[in-house]
Amino acid sequence: MTGVPGGTGVGWRSGIAAVLDDVDGLAFHEVVAESLHPDAVPASLLRRPVVVHGVRLSPGSPEGVDPGRVAHLAACAAATGAALVSEHIAFTRAGGVEAGHLLPLPRTREALDVLVANVAATRPELDVPLALEPIAALFDWPDDEFDEAEFLHRLHDRTGAPLLLDIANTYVNARNRGRDPRADVDALLTGLPPGAVAYCHVAGHAADATGLLHDTHTDPGPDAVLALLTHTVAQLPVPPPVMLERDGRYPPAAELCAELDAVAAAAGHASPCRTGADSGHGAGTVTAPAADGTGTT
């Protein structure tokens, strides 16, 4: 068990904190570790259970994880009483060079060994479970030995680490490669034991001039992603916790609440915005803070 409360959550961002304070039915917040100082945790964040989400640990780096970054994740988890820490199946640095973005791993035995070793080095420093998120990637390495589902199955078999399944990432990756997103979900979930999915992300995307889809977090989640969420939930024995990611270009409060309610409905959860327009959400506005974290998550 990961300890993430069931229901619908949202990524906590300072620009929408005041609006989120008024949404009584939210189950949890996720906070980006790199945006948080453990000695100055905002009171608004602590109104609900917390998941700490890292973006710069770089568990795919052959040189190993940075002890300082591991310590920061642990300190953030302790300061917020987090139920879970999550990170990405990716690397952000190699050879001492910081890329500033989440980069995909080659799905090879060697890369899997590196990832397993770095997970093993990280977990003893944390007092809570560590979940791992497959990223949205615009390319695959030419020397891949496994498809994504087999790679993730092998990772789970060797580490026991639960997955943070980003529905938007799954949708974007499948569409960009000409595959059926539902078939990709089915391939991933088939063979995973119950409880292997800790929670899910939902976010929006946008297409570039070439038609490639990019995971943006600045657009509302489209109906196709919500439909994929419903399909995913139907494959699992218990509806997982689901979290909306928004990073910048925040809509008016009423629109944000409508988006949260749409995510909850797609996941089979109760509406987080229980009182709807009568609560005064429609009168609020949200402001855009500086970007949190590295790339999209």
Q: Where are the domains of the chain?
A: 8-283
Look at residue 85 and give its three-state secondary structure. strand
- Predicted pLDDT at 99: 86
Nearest to 84 by CA among 4, 29, 26: 4
218: pLDDT confidence band, cut at 50, 70 and 90? confident
Residue 295 has pLDDT above 80, yes or no: no
131 pLDDT band (50/70/90 cuts)?
very high
Burial 9-34 (b: 16+ CB within 10 A, else e): bbbbbebbbebbeebebbbbbbbbbb
pLDDT number for residue 94: 87
pLDDT of residue 220: 86
Give the rounded distance of the alpha carbon of 149 from its chain centre: 18
pLDDT for res 2:
62
**Residue with the two structure tokens 């790679």:** 151
Kindly tell me if the per-residue pLDDT of 287 is higher than 50: no
CA distance 116 to 95: 19
Look up the pTM and report it.
Answer: 0.90
| Percent of the chain residues topping a pLDDT of 90 | 80
Average pLDDT over residues 260-288: 67
Across 56-73, average pLDDT: 97
Tell me the average pLDDT across 42-52.
Answer: 97
Q: Is beta strand 130-134 parallel, antiparallel or unpaired with respect to 84-89?
A: parallel
Question: How far apart (Å, rounded) are the C-alpha atoms in residues 67 and 121?
Answer: 9
Q: Are 23 and 295 in contact (CB under 8 A)?
A: no
What confidence category does residue 276 fall into, taking pLDDT thresholds of 50, 70 and 90? Answer: very low
pLDDT averaged over the chain?
Answer: 91
Residue-wise pLDDT for 69-105, tens only, equals 999 999 999 999 999 999 999 999 988 888 888 999 9
| Token code pair at residue 40 | 């100055």
Q: Under CATH, which architecture does the 8-283 domain have?
A: Alpha-Beta Barrel (3.20)
Position 221 scores a pLDDT of: 84
pLDDT for the residue numbered 293: 43
Q: What is the pLDDT of residue 226?
A: 97
How far lies 224's CA from each of 68, 80, 181, 229, in Å? 40, 34, 10, 9
